[in-house]
A and B are shown apart, each in its own frame.
Chain A
Protein backbone atom coordinates (compact mmCIF):
# COMPACT_ATOMS: atom_id res chain seq x y z
CA UNK A 1 0.00 0.00 0.00
CA UNK A 2 1.37 3.41 -1.03
CA UNK A 3 -1.37 5.30 0.75
CA UNK A 4 -2.32 4.62 4.35
CA UNK A 5 -5.14 6.14 6.33
CA UNK A 6 -2.49 8.28 8.07
CA UNK A 7 -1.36 9.58 4.65
CA UNK A 8 -4.95 10.40 3.78
CA UNK A 9 -5.32 12.34 7.02
CA UNK A 10 -2.18 14.33 6.26
CA UNK A 11 -3.28 15.17 2.69
CA UNK A 12 -6.76 16.08 3.89
CA UNK A 13 -5.25 18.53 6.35
CA UNK A 14 -3.22 20.16 3.57
CA UNK A 15 -6.34 20.38 1.39
CA UNK A 16 -8.49 21.77 4.23
CA UNK A 17 -10.84 18.81 4.13
CA UNK A 18 -12.30 16.85 7.00
CA UNK A 19 -13.12 13.21 6.24
CA UNK A 20 -15.09 10.63 8.16
CA UNK A 21 -13.40 7.36 9.11
CA UNK A 22 -15.21 5.50 6.33
CA UNK A 23 -14.26 8.19 3.78
CA UNK A 24 -10.61 7.95 4.87
CA UNK A 25 -10.60 4.19 4.36
CA UNK A 26 -12.39 4.45 1.02
CA UNK A 27 -10.04 7.17 -0.27
CA UNK A 28 -6.94 5.29 0.92
CA UNK A 29 -7.92 2.28 -1.19
CA UNK A 30 -9.00 4.30 -4.21
CA UNK A 31 -6.00 6.62 -4.18
CA UNK A 32 -3.75 3.63 -3.79
CA UNK A 33 -5.25 2.05 -6.93
CA UNK A 34 -5.02 5.30 -8.91
CA UNK A 35 -1.44 6.05 -7.83
CA UNK A 36 -0.54 2.45 -8.63
CA UNK A 37 -1.90 3.01 -12.12
CA UNK A 38 -0.08 6.33 -12.68
CA UNK A 39 3.17 4.64 -11.72
CA UNK A 40 3.31 3.42 -15.32
CA UNK A 41 4.78 6.84 -16.18
CA UNK A 42 7.99 5.58 -14.55
CA UNK A 43 8.44 3.25 -17.54
CA UNK A 44 9.34 6.30 -19.63
CA UNK A 45 12.76 7.90 -19.63
CA UNK A 46 12.15 11.65 -19.42
CA UNK A 47 15.64 12.78 -18.37
CA UNK A 48 16.12 15.32 -21.14
CA UNK A 49 12.50 16.27 -21.70
CA UNK A 50 11.30 19.80 -20.96
CA UNK A 51 8.06 19.82 -18.94
CA UNK A 52 4.97 21.32 -20.63
CA UNK A 53 2.83 23.57 -18.48
CA UNK A 54 0.84 25.03 -21.35
CA UNK A 55 -0.12 23.55 -24.72
CA UNK A 56 0.04 26.81 -26.63
CA UNK A 57 3.49 28.38 -26.58
CA UNK A 58 2.86 31.74 -24.94
CA UNK A 59 5.06 34.43 -23.48
CA UNK A 60 3.78 36.79 -20.83
CA UNK A 61 0.56 38.39 -22.01
CA UNK A 62 1.09 42.10 -21.48
CA UNK A 63 -1.56 44.77 -21.78
CA UNK A 64 -1.70 48.49 -21.31
CA UNK A 65 -2.36 49.62 -17.78
CA UNK A 66 -5.75 51.20 -18.31
CA UNK A 67 -8.32 51.70 -15.56
CA UNK A 68 -11.66 50.05 -16.33
CA UNK A 69 -14.83 50.26 -14.25
CA UNK A 70 -15.10 47.35 -11.78
CA UNK A 71 -18.23 45.64 -10.48
CA UNK A 72 -18.43 47.78 -7.36
CA UNK A 73 -18.81 47.09 -3.66
CA UNK A 74 -22.44 46.05 -3.48
CA UNK A 75 -22.20 43.53 -6.31
CA UNK A 76 -18.92 42.16 -4.98
CA UNK A 77 -20.44 41.67 -1.55
CA UNK A 78 -23.80 40.37 -2.75
CA UNK A 79 -22.81 36.71 -2.30
CA UNK A 80 -21.01 37.21 1.00
CA UNK A 81 -22.14 34.69 3.62
CA UNK A 82 -21.54 37.42 6.21
CA UNK A 83 -20.50 41.05 5.92
CA UNK A 84 -19.58 43.93 8.17
CA UNK A 85 -20.06 47.22 6.37
CA UNK A 86 -17.90 47.12 3.29
CA UNK A 87 -15.98 44.00 4.45
CA UNK A 88 -16.39 40.23 4.29
CA UNK A 89 -16.85 39.10 7.87
CA UNK A 90 -15.30 35.82 9.11
CA UNK A 91 -15.06 34.02 12.45
CA UNK A 92 -12.18 35.08 14.68
CA UNK A 93 -8.70 34.33 13.37
CA UNK A 94 -6.68 34.45 16.60
CA UNK A 95 -7.75 33.23 20.04
Chain B
Protein backbone atom coordinates (compact mmCIF):
# COMPACT_ATOMS: atom_id res chain seq x y z
CA UNK B 1 0.00 0.00 0.00
CA UNK B 2 1.67 3.17 -1.24
CA UNK B 3 0.20 6.29 0.30
CA UNK B 4 1.95 8.40 -2.34
CA UNK B 5 -0.49 7.00 -4.90
CA UNK B 6 -3.54 7.87 -2.83
CA UNK B 7 -6.18 10.53 -3.11
CA UNK B 8 -8.10 11.79 -0.04
CA UNK B 9 -10.80 9.24 -0.81
CA UNK B 10 -8.43 6.31 -1.15
CA UNK B 11 -6.56 7.21 2.02
CA UNK B 12 -9.86 7.69 3.83
CA UNK B 13 -10.94 4.17 2.80
CA UNK B 14 -7.62 2.77 4.03
CA UNK B 15 -7.87 4.63 7.35
CA UNK B 16 -11.45 3.57 7.85
CA UNK B 17 -10.62 -0.04 6.92
CA UNK B 18 -7.71 0.05 9.42
CA UNK B 19 -5.23 -0.97 6.71
CA UNK B 20 -3.26 2.10 7.66
CA UNK B 21 -3.14 4.59 10.53
CA UNK B 22 -2.98 8.35 10.18
CA UNK B 23 0.28 8.17 12.15
CA UNK B 24 1.77 5.92 9.46
CA UNK B 25 0.43 8.06 6.61
CA UNK B 26 1.56 11.31 8.25
CA UNK B 27 4.96 9.86 9.16
CA UNK B 28 5.51 8.70 5.58
CA UNK B 29 4.50 12.11 4.24
CA UNK B 30 6.90 13.88 6.61
CA UNK B 31 9.72 11.61 5.47
CA UNK B 32 8.92 12.31 1.85
CA UNK B 33 8.81 16.05 2.52
CA UNK B 34 12.24 15.87 4.13
CA UNK B 35 13.66 13.78 1.29
CA UNK B 36 12.32 15.96 -1.53
CA UNK B 37 12.67 19.45 -0.07
CA UNK B 38 16.24 19.98 -1.27
CA UNK B 39 15.03 19.45 -4.84
CA UNK B 40 11.56 21.08 -4.73
CA UNK B 41 11.27 23.56 -1.86
CA UNK B 42 7.50 23.39 -1.44
CA UNK B 43 7.50 24.31 2.25
CA UNK B 44 8.47 27.36 4.27
CA UNK B 45 7.66 25.67 7.59
CA UNK B 46 7.14 21.96 8.31
CA UNK B 47 5.05 21.38 11.45
CA UNK B 48 6.35 17.93 12.23
CA UNK B 49 5.45 17.67 15.90
CA UNK B 50 2.00 19.20 15.58
CA UNK B 51 1.33 16.91 12.60
CA UNK B 52 2.22 13.76 14.51
CA UNK B 53 0.18 14.90 17.48
CA UNK B 54 -2.84 15.59 15.26
CA UNK B 55 -2.37 12.23 13.54
CA UNK B 56 -2.40 10.47 16.91
CA UNK B 57 -5.61 12.28 17.86
CA UNK B 58 -7.13 11.31 14.50
CA UNK B 59 -6.24 7.66 15.02
CA UNK B 60 -7.97 7.78 18.37
CA UNK B 61 -11.10 9.22 16.76
CA UNK B 62 -10.99 6.54 14.06
CA UNK B 63 -10.63 3.81 16.68
CA UNK B 64 -13.76 5.21 18.33
CA UNK B 65 -15.58 4.87 15.02
CA UNK B 66 -15.57 8.60 14.16
CA UNK B 67 -13.93 8.63 10.75
CA UNK B 68 -14.97 11.72 8.81
CA UNK B 69 -13.72 11.95 5.21
CA UNK B 70 -10.95 14.34 6.35
CA UNK B 71 -10.04 12.66 9.65
CA UNK B 72 -6.34 11.87 9.67
CA UNK B 73 -5.69 13.20 6.14
CA UNK B 74 -2.33 15.03 5.90
CA UNK B 75 -2.84 18.43 4.26
CA UNK B 76 -0.83 21.62 3.92
CA UNK B 77 -1.62 25.32 3.60
CA UNK B 78 -0.20 28.18 1.61
CA UNK B 79 1.67 30.38 4.08
CA UNK B 80 -0.96 33.10 3.61
CA UNK B 81 -3.40 31.34 5.99
CA UNK B 82 -3.09 32.36 9.62
CA UNK B 83 -2.42 29.38 11.87
CA UNK B 84 -2.55 30.10 15.58
CA UNK B 85 0.82 29.49 17.20
CA UNK B 86 2.49 28.52 13.90
CA UNK B 87 4.70 31.01 12.08
CA UNK B 88 2.97 32.59 9.08
CA UNK B 89 5.19 34.59 6.70
CA UNK B 90 3.14 35.12 3.53
CA UNK B 91 6.47 34.60 1.76
CA UNK B 92 7.75 37.89 3.14
CA UNK B 93 10.73 38.94 5.21
CA UNK B 94 8.47 41.50 6.93
CA UNK B 95 6.52 38.65 8.61
CA UNK B 96 9.56 36.45 9.24
CA UNK B 97 8.86 36.23 12.97
CA UNK B 98 5.06 36.51 12.92
CA UNK B 99 3.15 33.98 15.06
CA UNK B 100 -0.58 34.54 14.50
CA UNK B 101 -2.81 34.85 17.57
CA UNK B 102 -5.74 33.18 15.75
CA UNK B 103 -6.46 30.89 12.78
CA UNK B 104 -8.13 31.32 9.40
CA UNK B 105 -11.72 30.04 9.32
CA UNK B 106 -10.95 27.80 6.32
CA UNK B 107 -8.16 26.05 8.25
CA UNK B 108 -10.33 25.77 11.39
CA UNK B 109 -12.99 24.03 9.34
CA UNK B 110 -10.51 21.44 8.04
CA UNK B 111 -8.87 21.01 11.44
CA UNK B 112 -12.19 20.55 13.20
CA UNK B 113 -12.91 17.63 10.91
CA UNK B 114 -9.66 15.97 11.91
CA UNK B 115 -7.33 17.00 9.09
CA UNK B 116 -3.59 16.93 9.87
CA UNK B 117 -1.46 20.00 9.06
CA UNK B 118 1.94 19.06 7.58
CA UNK B 119 3.13 22.63 7.24
CA UNK B 120 3.03 25.97 5.49
CA UNK B 121 3.77 26.23 1.78
CA UNK B 122 5.93 28.55 -0.24
CA UNK B 123 4.38 31.28 -2.35
CA UNK B 124 5.15 34.54 -4.06
CA UNK B 125 5.57 37.29 -1.48
CA UNK B 126 2.08 38.48 -0.43
CA UNK B 127 0.72 36.35 -3.32
CA UNK B 128 2.17 38.81 -5.84
CA UNK B 129 3.61 36.81 -8.68
CA UNK B 130 3.07 34.06 -11.22
CA UNK B 131 6.15 31.95 -10.59
CA UNK B 132 6.78 31.72 -6.81
CA UNK B 133 10.14 33.38 -7.47
CA UNK B 134 9.27 36.49 -5.44
CA UNK B 135 9.22 34.55 -2.14
CA UNK B 136 11.74 35.65 0.47
CA UNK B 137 12.24 31.94 1.24
CA UNK B 138 13.68 30.73 -2.04
CA UNK B 139 12.18 29.56 -5.32
CA UNK B 140 9.99 26.46 -5.43
CA UNK B 141 10.78 24.11 -8.32
CA UNK B 142 8.36 22.29 -10.58
CA UNK B 143 8.35 18.56 -9.71
CA UNK B 144 7.98 17.69 -13.42
CA UNK B 145 11.13 19.59 -14.32
CA UNK B 146 13.12 21.23 -11.57
CA UNK B 147 14.56 23.90 -13.86
CA UNK B 148 11.03 25.25 -14.35
CA UNK B 149 8.81 27.36 -12.12
CA UNK B 150 5.80 25.67 -10.47
CA UNK B 151 3.62 28.69 -11.26
CA UNK B 152 2.34 31.11 -8.68
CA UNK B 153 1.48 32.57 -6.47
CA UNK B 154 0.32 29.29 -4.82
CA UNK B 155 3.41 27.51 -6.23
CA UNK B 156 4.16 25.47 -3.11
CA UNK B 157 0.49 24.42 -2.86
CA UNK B 158 0.71 22.95 -6.38
CA UNK B 159 4.22 21.48 -6.19
CA UNK B 160 3.43 19.75 -2.88
CA UNK B 161 0.44 17.97 -4.41
CA UNK B 162 2.38 17.11 -7.60
CA UNK B 163 5.35 15.75 -5.61
CA UNK B 164 2.98 14.03 -3.15
CA UNK B 165 4.35 16.02 -0.24
CA UNK B 166 0.72 16.50 0.85
CA UNK B 167 -2.49 14.77 -0.19
CA UNK B 168 -4.20 18.10 -0.86
CA UNK B 169 -3.58 21.78 -0.12
CA UNK B 170 -5.30 25.14 0.09
CA UNK B 171 -4.20 28.14 -1.94
CA UNK B 172 -5.56 31.57 -2.78
CA UNK B 173 -6.37 33.04 -6.18
CA UNK B 174 -6.45 36.78 -6.92
CA UNK B 175 -5.63 36.69 -10.64
CA UNK B 176 -4.99 32.98 -11.28
CA UNK B 177 -2.84 32.02 -8.31
CA UNK B 178 -4.55 28.63 -7.80
CA UNK B 179 -5.36 27.71 -11.40
CA UNK B 180 -2.08 28.62 -13.09
CA UNK B 181 0.17 26.62 -10.69
CA UNK B 182 -2.32 23.74 -10.77
CA UNK B 183 -2.03 23.76 -14.56
CA UNK B 184 1.78 23.92 -14.48
CA UNK B 185 2.06 21.10 -11.91
CA UNK B 186 -0.62 18.77 -13.29
CA UNK B 187 -3.13 18.98 -10.45
CA UNK B 188 -6.70 20.12 -10.04
CA UNK B 189 -7.17 23.67 -8.73
CA UNK B 190 -10.43 25.52 -8.13
CA UNK B 191 -11.06 29.20 -7.56
CA UNK B 192 -14.54 29.49 -6.06
CA UNK B 193 -16.95 32.35 -6.68
CA UNK B 194 -16.12 35.53 -4.77
CA UNK B 195 -17.87 35.16 -1.41
CA UNK B 196 -18.13 31.36 -1.47
CA UNK B 197 -15.29 30.74 1.01
CA UNK B 198 -14.51 32.81 4.10
CA UNK B 199 -11.34 34.88 3.92
CA UNK B 200 -11.17 35.53 7.65
CA UNK B 201 -7.57 35.00 8.69
CA UNK B 202 -6.26 35.01 5.13
CA UNK B 203 -3.67 37.73 4.60
CA UNK B 204 -5.18 40.29 2.21
CA UNK B 205 -3.66 41.19 -1.15
CA UNK B 206 -6.49 42.63 -3.30
CA UNK B 207 -9.68 42.39 -1.31
CA UNK B 208 -12.20 42.66 -4.15
CA UNK B 209 -10.52 39.73 -5.95
CA UNK B 210 -8.93 37.36 -3.38
CA UNK B 211 -10.56 33.96 -2.89
CA UNK B 212 -9.56 30.70 -1.13
CA UNK B 213 -9.63 27.33 -2.90
CA UNK B 214 -8.27 23.77 -3.00
CA UNK B 215 -5.49 22.12 -5.02
CA UNK B 216 -5.90 18.35 -5.26
CA UNK B 217 -4.97 15.20 -7.16
CA UNK B 218 -8.40 14.77 -8.70
CA UNK B 219 -11.84 16.37 -9.02
CA UNK B 220 -13.48 14.19 -6.38
CA UNK B 221 -10.95 15.42 -3.78
CA UNK B 222 -11.52 18.97 -5.00
CA UNK B 223 -15.26 18.64 -4.35
CA UNK B 224 -14.58 17.25 -0.87
CA UNK B 225 -12.18 20.05 0.03
CA UNK B 226 -14.46 22.78 -1.33
CA UNK B 227 -17.42 21.38 0.56
CA UNK B 228 -15.37 21.46 3.74
CA UNK B 229 -14.27 25.09 3.49
CA UNK B 230 -17.22 26.76 1.70
CA UNK B 231 -20.01 28.63 3.43
CA UNK B 232 -20.98 31.80 5.21
CA UNK B 233 -18.76 33.07 8.01
CA UNK B 234 -20.05 35.79 10.34
CA UNK B 235 -16.41 36.90 10.67
CA UNK B 236 -16.16 37.70 6.94
CA UNK B 237 -18.86 40.12 5.84
CA UNK B 238 -17.98 39.47 2.17
CA UNK B 239 -18.81 35.77 2.50
CA UNK B 240 -22.20 35.04 0.98
CA UNK B 241 -25.00 33.43 2.91
CA UNK B 242 -26.24 30.87 0.37
CA UNK B 243 -26.40 27.13 1.09
CA UNK B 244 -23.39 24.98 0.13
CA UNK B 245 -24.50 22.24 -2.30
CA UNK B 246 -23.41 18.64 -1.80
CA UNK B 247 -20.74 18.88 -4.49
CA UNK B 248 -19.61 15.26 -4.11
CA UNK B 249 -23.10 13.80 -4.49
CA UNK B 250 -23.69 15.48 -7.84
CA UNK B 251 -20.38 14.70 -9.52
CA UNK B 252 -21.48 11.74 -11.58
CA UNK B 253 -24.34 13.17 -13.61
CA UNK B 254 -22.33 13.52 -16.81
CA UNK B 255 -22.26 16.29 -19.38
CA UNK B 256 -24.84 15.15 -21.91
CA UNK B 257 -26.50 18.26 -23.31
CA UNK B 258 -24.24 20.59 -21.29
CA UNK B 259 -23.65 23.78 -23.27
CA UNK B 260 -19.97 24.67 -23.31
CA UNK B 261 -18.92 28.09 -24.60
CA UNK B 262 -15.63 28.63 -26.43
CA UNK B 263 -14.71 32.32 -26.14
CA UNK B 264 -12.92 33.22 -29.35
CA UNK B 265 -10.68 35.79 -27.62
CA UNK B 266 -8.94 32.97 -25.72
CA UNK B 267 -7.65 31.30 -28.86
CA UNK B 268 -4.99 33.84 -29.65
CA UNK B 269 -2.08 33.66 -32.09
CA UNK B 270 0.51 33.50 -29.32
CA UNK B 271 -0.98 30.32 -27.86
CA UNK B 272 1.64 27.62 -27.45
CA UNK B 273 1.05 24.75 -29.94
CA UNK B 274 1.09 22.16 -27.12
CA UNK B 275 -1.55 24.14 -25.21
CA UNK B 276 -3.57 24.46 -28.42
CA UNK B 277 -3.36 20.71 -28.92
CA UNK B 278 -4.52 19.98 -25.34
CA UNK B 279 -7.47 22.31 -25.90
CA UNK B 280 -8.42 20.61 -29.17
CA UNK B 281 -8.25 17.19 -27.52
CA UNK B 282 -10.35 18.40 -24.55
CA UNK B 283 -13.02 19.76 -26.91
CA UNK B 284 -13.04 16.39 -28.71
CA UNK B 285 -13.41 14.52 -25.39
CA UNK B 286 -16.36 16.65 -24.31
CA UNK B 287 -17.99 16.28 -27.72
CA UNK B 288 -17.71 12.51 -27.41
CA UNK B 289 -19.29 12.71 -23.94
CA UNK B 290 -22.32 14.46 -25.38
CA UNK B 291 -21.66 18.12 -24.57
CA UNK B 292 -22.66 20.81 -27.06
CA UNK B 293 -20.30 23.59 -28.08
CA UNK B 294 -21.26 27.20 -28.64
CA UNK B 295 -18.92 29.83 -30.07
CA UNK B 296 -19.07 32.89 -27.84
CA UNK B 297 -17.27 36.20 -27.51
CA UNK B 298 -15.93 38.01 -24.44
CA UNK B 299 -14.94 41.17 -26.31
CA UNK B 300 -13.14 42.96 -23.46
CA UNK B 301 -10.75 40.09 -22.66
CA UNK B 302 -7.79 41.99 -24.06
CA UNK B 303 -8.27 44.72 -21.43
CA UNK B 304 -8.38 42.41 -18.42
CA UNK B 305 -4.66 42.38 -17.54
CA UNK B 306 -4.45 46.18 -17.62
CA UNK B 307 -7.62 46.46 -15.52
CA UNK B 308 -6.32 43.93 -13.02
CA UNK B 309 -2.93 45.56 -12.52
CA UNK B 310 -4.60 48.85 -11.63
CA UNK B 311 -7.29 47.47 -9.32
CA UNK B 312 -5.14 44.82 -7.62
CA UNK B 313 -2.20 47.15 -7.03
CA UNK B 314 -4.46 49.93 -5.73
CA UNK B 315 -6.07 47.56 -3.24
CA UNK B 316 -2.66 46.13 -2.33
CA UNK B 317 -1.16 49.56 -1.64
CA UNK B 318 -3.98 50.13 0.84
CA UNK B 319 -3.96 46.63 2.39
CA UNK B 320 -0.19 46.61 2.87
CA UNK B 321 -0.18 49.95 4.67
CA UNK B 322 -0.64 47.93 7.88
CA UNK B 323 2.95 46.66 7.72
CA UNK B 324 4.51 49.58 9.53
CA UNK B 325 6.57 47.90 12.24
CA UNK B 326 4.26 49.01 15.05
CA UNK B 327 2.22 46.00 16.18
CA UNK B 328 3.82 42.96 14.53
CA UNK B 329 6.35 42.00 11.91
CA UNK B 330 9.76 43.48 11.16
CA UNK B 331 10.75 46.74 12.85
CA UNK B 332 13.85 48.63 11.77
CA UNK B 333 15.90 50.73 14.17
CA UNK B 334 15.11 54.42 13.79
CA UNK B 335 15.15 57.56 15.92
CA UNK B 336 11.66 58.78 14.98
CA UNK B 337 8.34 57.27 14.03
CA UNK B 338 8.18 58.19 10.33
CA UNK B 339 11.68 56.87 9.75
CA UNK B 340 10.71 53.67 11.54
CA UNK B 341 7.75 53.13 9.21
CA UNK B 342 9.76 53.81 6.08
CA UNK B 343 12.81 51.81 7.06
CA UNK B 344 10.80 48.82 8.33
CA UNK B 345 8.82 48.62 5.08
CA UNK B 346 11.86 49.16 2.86
CA UNK B 347 13.82 46.42 4.61
CA UNK B 348 10.88 44.04 4.92
CA UNK B 349 9.30 44.09 1.44
CA UNK B 350 10.85 42.54 -1.65
CA UNK B 351 11.07 44.15 -5.10
CA UNK B 352 7.80 42.87 -6.58
CA UNK B 353 5.79 43.95 -3.54
CA UNK B 354 7.40 47.40 -3.59
CA UNK B 355 6.69 47.68 -7.31
CA UNK B 356 3.00 46.86 -6.84
CA UNK B 357 2.62 49.16 -3.83
CA UNK B 358 4.19 51.93 -5.95
CA UNK B 359 1.89 51.26 -8.93
CA UNK B 360 -1.17 51.18 -6.70
CA UNK B 361 -0.15 54.31 -4.84
CA UNK B 362 0.29 56.06 -8.18
CA UNK B 363 -3.12 54.86 -9.48
CA UNK B 364 -4.80 56.20 -6.32
CA UNK B 365 -2.84 59.42 -6.06
CA UNK B 366 -4.29 62.86 -6.55
CA UNK B 367 -4.68 63.69 -10.24
CA UNK B 368 -4.52 60.06 -11.39
CA UNK B 369 -7.36 58.48 -9.42
CA UNK B 370 -10.01 59.00 -12.13
CA UNK B 371 -7.71 58.34 -15.07
CA UNK B 372 -6.44 55.04 -13.71
CA UNK B 373 -8.37 53.59 -10.78
CA UNK B 374 -11.93 54.66 -11.65
CA UNK B 375 -11.27 53.94 -15.34
CA UNK B 376 -10.21 50.39 -14.42
CA UNK B 377 -13.33 49.93 -12.27
CA UNK B 378 -15.47 50.96 -15.24
CA UNK B 379 -13.71 48.54 -17.58
CA UNK B 380 -14.25 45.89 -14.91
CA UNK B 381 -17.98 46.47 -15.37
CA UNK B 382 -17.59 45.86 -19.11
CA UNK B 383 -15.65 42.64 -18.46
CA UNK B 384 -18.31 41.42 -16.01
CA UNK B 385 -21.05 42.22 -18.50
CA UNK B 386 -19.26 40.09 -21.13
CA UNK B 387 -19.59 37.11 -18.79
CA UNK B 388 -23.20 37.85 -17.85
CA UNK B 389 -24.17 38.09 -21.54
CA UNK B 390 -22.39 34.87 -22.50
CA UNK B 391 -23.65 32.89 -19.53
CA UNK B 392 -27.19 33.52 -20.77
CA UNK B 393 -26.27 31.18 -23.64
CA UNK B 394 -23.96 28.58 -22.09
CA UNK B 395 -23.59 26.57 -18.86
CA UNK B 396 -19.79 26.64 -18.67
CA UNK B 397 -16.84 27.91 -20.70
CA UNK B 398 -13.76 25.96 -21.71
CA UNK B 399 -10.46 27.80 -22.19
CA UNK B 400 -6.72 27.40 -21.72
CA UNK B 401 -5.37 28.22 -18.22
CA UNK B 402 -2.07 29.74 -19.32
CA UNK B 403 -0.72 30.60 -22.78
CA UNK B 404 2.33 28.32 -22.29
CA UNK B 405 3.42 25.40 -20.08
CA UNK B 406 5.67 26.23 -17.09
CA UNK B 407 8.52 28.53 -18.07
CA UNK B 408 12.12 28.37 -16.90
CA UNK B 409 13.20 29.76 -13.54
CA UNK B 410 14.58 33.27 -14.13
CA UNK B 411 13.03 33.60 -17.59
CA UNK B 412 10.60 36.42 -16.77
CA UNK B 413 11.85 37.71 -13.44
CA UNK B 414 13.40 40.86 -14.93
CA UNK B 415 10.40 41.75 -17.06
CA UNK B 416 7.37 42.29 -14.82
CA UNK B 417 5.04 43.11 -17.72
CA UNK B 418 5.78 39.77 -19.44
CA UNK B 419 5.20 38.03 -16.11
CA UNK B 420 1.85 39.81 -15.73
CA UNK B 421 0.75 38.77 -19.22
CA UNK B 422 1.10 35.08 -18.30
CA UNK B 423 -2.18 35.51 -16.33
CA UNK B 424 -4.17 36.67 -19.35
CA UNK B 425 -6.69 33.77 -19.28
CA UNK B 426 -7.20 33.58 -15.52
CA UNK B 427 -7.54 37.26 -14.57
CA UNK B 428 -10.95 37.92 -16.23
CA UNK B 429 -12.58 35.33 -13.94
CA UNK B 430 -11.43 37.19 -10.80
CA UNK B 431 -12.61 40.52 -12.20
CA UNK B 432 -16.01 38.98 -12.97
CA UNK B 433 -16.04 37.33 -9.52
CA UNK B 434 -17.11 33.96 -10.84
CA UNK B 435 -15.67 30.44 -10.37
CA UNK B 436 -13.24 28.39 -12.47
CA UNK B 437 -11.19 25.21 -12.24
CA UNK B 438 -7.96 24.01 -13.83
CA UNK B 439 -7.96 20.36 -14.91
CA UNK B 440 -5.00 18.24 -16.06
CA UNK B 441 -5.49 17.86 -19.83
CA UNK B 442 -2.22 16.81 -21.40
CA UNK B 443 1.53 17.27 -21.60
CA UNK B 444 3.87 19.33 -23.71
CA UNK B 445 6.46 17.71 -25.99
CA UNK B 446 8.96 18.48 -23.21
CA UNK B 447 6.86 16.54 -20.69
CA UNK B 448 5.34 19.47 -18.77
CA UNK B 449 1.69 19.28 -17.64
CA UNK B 450 -0.95 21.40 -19.35
CA UNK B 451 -4.30 22.29 -17.81
CA UNK B 452 -7.56 23.46 -19.29
CA UNK B 453 -9.93 25.83 -17.54
CA UNK B 454 -13.64 25.33 -16.94
CA UNK B 455 -15.33 28.61 -16.07
CA UNK B 456 -18.69 28.46 -14.29
CA UNK B 457 -21.49 30.88 -13.54
CA UNK B 458 -21.38 32.67 -10.19
CA UNK B 459 -21.99 29.96 -7.56
CA UNK B 460 -21.89 27.36 -10.36
CA UNK B 461 -19.13 25.29 -8.73
CA UNK B 462 -21.36 22.24 -8.85
CA UNK B 463 -21.52 22.35 -12.65
CA UNK B 464 -17.78 22.80 -13.26
CA UNK B 465 -17.00 20.02 -10.79
CA UNK B 466 -19.46 17.72 -12.57
CA UNK B 467 -17.99 18.64 -15.96
CA UNK B 468 -14.48 18.18 -14.59
CA UNK B 469 -15.32 14.78 -13.15
CA UNK B 470 -16.75 13.60 -16.48
CA UNK B 471 -13.55 14.70 -18.23
CA UNK B 472 -11.40 12.92 -15.69
CA UNK B 473 -13.33 9.67 -16.10
CA UNK B 474 -12.67 9.83 -19.84
CA UNK B 475 -8.94 10.68 -19.61
CA UNK B 476 -5.94 9.54 -17.60
CA UNK B 477 -3.92 12.76 -17.29
CA UNK B 478 -4.65 13.14 -13.58
CA UNK B 479 -3.25 9.66 -12.85
CA UNK B 480 0.24 10.53 -14.13
CA UNK B 481 2.85 11.29 -11.50
CA UNK B 482 6.00 13.36 -11.69
CA UNK B 483 9.05 11.10 -11.63
CA UNK B 484 10.69 12.61 -8.59
Contact = CB atoms under 8 A, between A and B. Distances in A.
Interface residues of A, number: 51
Interface stretch (B2-10, B157-165, B349-357, B471-479): B349-357
B289 interface: no
B283 interface: no
A12 B358 contact: yes
B358 A79 contact: no
Interface in A27-82: 27, 30-31, 33-35, 37-42, 44, 46, 49-56, 58, 61, 63, 71, 75-76, 78-82
B389 interface: no
A19 to B, nearest CB: 7
B43 interface: no
Contacts of A53: 208, 377
Contact of B99 (A7, A18, A50, A78): A78
A93 B336 contact: yes
Q: Tell me if B's interface is mostly helix, strand, loop or mixed.
A: helix
Contact of B309 (A14, A38, A42, A61): A38
B362 A11 contact: yes
Contact of B306 (A38, A46, A78, A80): A38
A23 B352 CA distance: 11
B459 to A, nearest CB: 9
A91 B337 contact: yes
Contact of A52 (B336, B351, B381): B381
B358 A15 contact: yes
Interface string B282-300: 0000000000000000001
B420 interface: yes
B346 interface: yes
A90 interface: yes
A46 B382 contact: yes
Contact of B346 (A7, A18, A27, A37): A18
Given A11-B361, A16-B345, A27-B355, A41 B433 contact: no
Nearest to B368: A35
B411 to A, nearest CB: 16
Contact of B237 (A27, A38, A61): A61
Contacts of A11: 358, 361-362, 365
B358 A52 contact: no
Given A40-B306, A46-B379, A52-B381, A15 B101 contact: no
Contacts of A79: 97-99, 101, 327-329
B16 to A, nearest CB: 37
B431 to A, nearest CB: 7
A63 B234 contact: yes
A27 B328 CA distance: 28
A49 to B, nearest CB: 4
A27 B414 CA distance: 11
B150 interface: no
A17 B303 contact: no
Contacts of A81: 325-326, 328-331
B378 A46 contact: yes
A50 B382 CA distance: 9
A30 B313 CA distance: 14
Given A75-B101, A78-B101, A95 B303 contact: no
Given A30-B355, A53-B377, A55-B434, 18 more contacts: A11-B362, A16-B345, A17-B354, A18-B342, A18-B343, A23-B351, A30-B417, A34-B416, A41-B379, A50-B381, A52-B378, A52-B381, A55-B208, A56-B433, A76-B101, A79-B101, A82-B331, A90-B337
Interface of B: 97-99, 101-102, 193-195, 208-209, 234, 237-238, 240, 300, 302-303, 305-307, 309-310, 317, 321, 324-331, 334-343, 345-346, 349, 351, 354-355, 357-359, 361-362, 365, 372, 374-382, 384, 416-417, 420, 431-434, 458
8 contacts: A16-B338, A16-B342, A17-B349, A17-B357, A41-B310, A41-B379, A56-B238, A82-B331
